[in-house]
Structure 1
Amino acid sequence: MAENLLRPQPYLAENPLERTLRESFDTNRRILDPPFPLSIPTPEEYLCLTRAILYSILTEGRTRGIRLKYLHAIVVDGYASFTALTASVVDELFERLLDDAKEQIVWIAGEMVEVGAQGFGDLLVSLLRQVVGGDYGDGNMWLCFEEASLFLRKWSALLEEDGEGRSALCCGFYCFLRLLGDHCRTRWSGDERLSALRQLEIDFCTKMLKEQFSLCMNVGRDLIRMLQDLVHVPEFHEIWKDLVLNPGAFGCPLFSDISQIYRIRTPSRYFLLRLTPEMERQMRFLLTNLKLGGQKRHQAWFWNKFLGTNPERETLVIDLIRFVCCAHHPTKEVLHSDIIPRWAVIGWLLKCCRKNYVEANAKLALFYDWLFFDERVDKVMNIEPALLLMVCSLPQYVAITDSLLEFLLLLVDNYDVDRMALITRGVLTSFDVLTRSGVVPSSDALTSAEGISPPLKERLGALLLRKEDHSAEAHAID
């Protein structure tokens, strides 16, 4: 008889997926051991056998080699059913899986990479999303270590798969680069387990940057945002110097200046990687179902569930803001309803910040697409929340408007002094597009607003007056 798959939880209904897997195993258990039947299974029998084999591997790890051999013998769909089923288990059940089952999942992922299984990339992404930022518990640290090891161990096999393999490498690179920003700063930095994990992440990310820079560029401008968090790390300090001063060191013919990366909008799929599936579901529920004024109870629940359990998890606010801006674009029906708007959720997330560096990175996450906005490649919905948060905070919460406006003006002057023209153009274009799109009637909503600090209004006015002069510079930049 197979062992249990899930940790028992009282008062929780039986999971339909787990039940289906177990029933398929009970039906087929007598044919899962050699000698295997010679008959060819029907499509329905094949799906049932696939579920039975997966359940057997997860609950009876000692038999995994035999079970996988049987799968190799009967596979007719390039392992698509098996990998999709395994990814579903990760998405729906991973948190409740017994430790041995989690180990088998990671083993399965490696085996599917080796055989070039259809859908192995989605399975790797599902596993990446189970690594929780700011969680330094044994289980989370183990999973992160195993996944980083898997990416390094299967490096060649992943590169051989032009589509799924290379895409998975980009996803792994984004995840581990983002996690390094936390792992190199946390109060746990002296912990031996974390030191070993951090070195593994550094090895993988630097290998990507040095050997596959063209793949790294697929991440887009958020690559620079994350790398700036790691400049103090010796291995990345040298890479940063080459990035700014010696782009030829990367051996990528398409790369000659950092401004090229600034112009690449980061695809929205990357912002999902740092949210667990449950975190994504709850955030989307908040943004699509709760009315403004009635969201506080759910926000308190969200905080207690995902952020408040550990002070280190505060850094998740940065990822949540990027997700809300760039990966959740509400429908017209929601926009014209009384559902809580994105800008209000972001305002709440900013209030969750307790550490100064987290707040600064959260504001940068909010304004990042403003700095390089280009109508030809960027989306107005990515920059809308920042302006609405500043305008709608007036006059009751003018301190929020002052703080955000001051931060934006500081970015224009200081983010990249050598490419200030590009950044100024991006911010001016953002204001222009947002007013033309009707997000606000005009920039007067800020420049003429009462309560905003006069020096800030003066600086903003001076910036907006540069629009005509900057149009000529734009041609030179292009």
Structure 2
Amino acid sequence: MFLGNTKFRTFFYSMASKLIVEAPYEAENQLKCSLRQAFESLQPNLRSPFSFSLSIPTPDQYSQLNHAILHGILAEPHFAKTHIKHLHGIITDGYAMFINLLIKVVHQLYPKLLGSVKSQLLWVAEEMINVLGIGFDAFLVSLLRQINGGYFSDGNLWLCLKMATLFLDKWQCLLEEEPDVLSCALYVFLRVLADHCRPNRPIDKNFETLRRLEVHLCVKIIREEFHLCLRIGKDFVKLLQDLIHVPEFRDIWKDLMLCPSKFNTSRYVNVSQLYHTRTCSKYVLLRINPQMETKLRFLMTYVKLGQQKRHQVWFFHKFLVEPDRETIIVDIVRFICCAHHPPYEIIQSDVVPRWAVIGWLLKSCRSSYVERSVKLALFYDWLFFDERVDNVMNIEPAILLMVHSVQKYIDITHNLLEFLLHLVDNYDVQVENKGLIAKGVSSALQLLAKKGVIQSFDVLTRCPALPPSLKEGLERLLSGVKN
């Protein structure tokens, strides 16, 4: 009798349609509106028994049903099993539309979603794996991108736990159907573990449980399916090196160097093979969330040089202000170098260049440990550089930052050049790899000159403010180019 009361029905619908936490005066999200409106118009028919005809719906009707059922699953956990049965009954496209809607929800709304809605997302993720819905791997990747580096909030750690558990529970299915998503999971959790396993970090029982689970997942992938590590390429080595103090990964590193046969694949010969495999930008994108990506791309596409300060201040307070979060600067620099390659028109315009953003990020580092990691992220593609497979855009920001800092910020030029020369001598002390590093850096310098990124290295080699030892070291690398 209560449902016949108009006021009560309106209240019931408004409570059921609650998906996100909205700030006062905030513009309503169009995706959330479309889900809610579809649900409110079809809600009386979404109860058991399902009161729709068995005829094939029109495209508009099918879209409305997908929207309404998704909203019901997310907003009504107590009816979720009923809604999912109705979804199975209407599907005609292999769940492609439904999963595409899920990806949009994660991409646009995840940070604002209620806790119960986030739980439902993980529940429906498992359901989509069970039915092998078209695009379920992309849905899992979208959830992986919401795991924030250097962030120890309960919500972030909960997502880490749920995703690691999901990958282990659905291991065999993922391995058979979409093994590439396991390589994405490995990349994310190796990077997250660098924060979670940081020495001297206080831990409690729950955090230790999470850490053991993440280690178990990563070790399982590396030991049992090493061919997936080869897909990641050179950044896999970098991630492992950040975890060398963890016993399980120290053992993996030793085998990587000394016992390649332990990885049960004939495709792996030695570590130089990984050094020479370019890391696809899709892996780099995994470590920054969509909101962060949008703001960074806007800054380097539309904001003019000299007018970026307020944008940088906003970005810092939004994403970097908490001390633990500064480690994500490493991921941002990798993103800028490897995944944001502006067209020629932007490069030649007065828009904020990539090197300027990286210079600002370097100055934002508060700890020497993070600063060193950021420099390595900046120069990492210089090591073992090969013009045949590597991209000049990956190495361009570092040289331009050094050159453009000579006049006003010579300390940046000095520190970066010193760090580069240190890498050449010390990054890998094995004789054969050390020679390959010097060759790679020399090749990078050669290509930068050939492509006209820098007209002459005289601005560095003849700079009176730089110590002779640094200029001599650069000259040696340049002489390697000539030889």
Deviation at 1:34, TM superposition (A): 2.5
For residue 376 of structure 2, what is the aligned residue in structure 1? 364
For residue 116 of structure 1, what is the aligned residue in structure 2? 132
What does the per-residue CA deviation read over 1:325-355, in whole Å, with 9 as the maximum and x for residues that have no partner? 1100111111111111111110110111111
What does 1:319-398 correspond to in 2, within 5 Å? 319-398=331-410
Aligned equivalent of 2:232, options 219, 237, 249: 219
Contact 2:223–2:263 under 8 Å retained in 1: yes
Aligned equivalent of 1:411, options 397, 414, 423: 423
Q: Secondary structure at the match of 2:179?
A: helix
What does the per-residue CA deviation read over 1:231-267, in whole Å, with 9 as the maximum and x for residues that have no partner? 1101111000000111111011110100000011100
Contact 2:334–2:377 under 8 Å retained in 1: yes
For residue 3 of structure 2, what is the aligned residue in structure 1? none
Deviation at 1:186, TM superposition (A): 6.4
Deviation at 1:67, TM superposition (A): 0.8
For residue 462 of structure 2, what is the aligned residue in structure 1? 448
Aligned equivalent of 1:131, options 144, 147, 156: 147
Contact 2:72–2:83 under 8 Å retained in 1: yes
**Distance in 1 separating the partners of 2:332 and 2:445:** 24
Q: What one-letter code is carried by the residue in structure 1 that aligns with 2:387?
A: E
Q: Which moved more, 1:79-88 or 1:64-73?
A: 64-73
Contact 1:83–1:117 under 8 Å retained in 2: yes
Q: What one-letter code is carried by the residue in structure 2 that aligns with 1:18?
A: K
1:46 aligns with 2:62: yes
**Distance in 2 separating the partners of 1:459 and 1:22:** 64
Deviation at 1:189, TM superposition (A): 4.1
Deviation at 1:31, TM superposition (A): 2.1
Contact 1:324–1:342 under 8 Å retained in 2: yes
Deviation at 1:96, TM superposition (A): 1.1
Deviation at 1:228, TM superposition (A): 0.1
Identity over aligned pairs, percent: 52
Q: Secondary structure at the match of 2:346?
A: helix
Contact 1:211–1:250 under 8 Å retained in 2: yes
Aligned equivalent of 1:280, options 263, 281, 293: 293
What does the per-residue CA deviation read over 1:272-320, in whole Å, with 9 as the maximum and x for residues that have no partner? 1111111000011111111111111110110000000x10000011000
For residue 472 of structure 1, what is the aligned residue in structure 2? none
Q: What one-letter code is carried by the residue in structure 2 that aligns with 1:434?
A: L
Contact 1:412–1:424 under 8 Å retained in 2: yes
**Distance in 2 separating the partners of 1:11 and 1:186:** 44
Contact 1:395–1:451 under 8 Å retained in 2: no
Aligned equivalent of 1:22, options 24, 36, 50: 36
For residue 176 of structure 1, what is the aligned residue in structure 2? 189
Q: What one-letter code is carried by the residue in structure 2 that aligns with 1:105?
A: L
What does the per-residue CA deviation read over 1:355-387, in whole Å, with 9 as the maximum and x for residues that have no partner? 111111100000000001111110000000000
Aligned length: 465
Q: Secondary structure at the match of 1:466?
A: helix
Unpaired runs of 5+ residues, structure 2, are: 1-11
For residue 444 of structure 2, what is the aligned residue in structure 1? 430
For residue 106 of structure 2, what is the aligned residue in structure 1? 90
For residue 264 of structure 2, what is the aligned residue in structure 1? 251
Q: What one-letter code is carried by the residue in structure 2 that aligns with 1:8?
A: E
Deviation at 1:468, TM superposition (A): 4.8
Aligned equivalent of 1:62, options 56, 60, 78: 78
Q: What one-letter code is carried by the residue in structure 1 that aligns with 2:359?
A: G
TM-score, structure 1 as length reference: 0.95
For residue 473 of structure 1, what is the aligned residue in structure 2? none
**Distance in 1 separating the partners of 2:19 and 2:203:** 35
What does the per-residue CA deviation read over 1:45-73, in whole Å, with 9 as the maximum and x for residues that have no partner? 11110111100011101111111111111
For residue 11 of structure 1, what is the aligned residue in structure 2? 25
Q: Secondary structure at the match of 1:417?
A: coil
**Distance in 1 separating the partners of 2:480 and 2:346:** 36
Contact 1:431–1:443 under 8 Å retained in 2: no
Q: What one-letter code is carried by the residue in structure 2 that aligns with 1:47?
A: S
Aligned equivalent of 1:198, options 205, 211, 215: 211
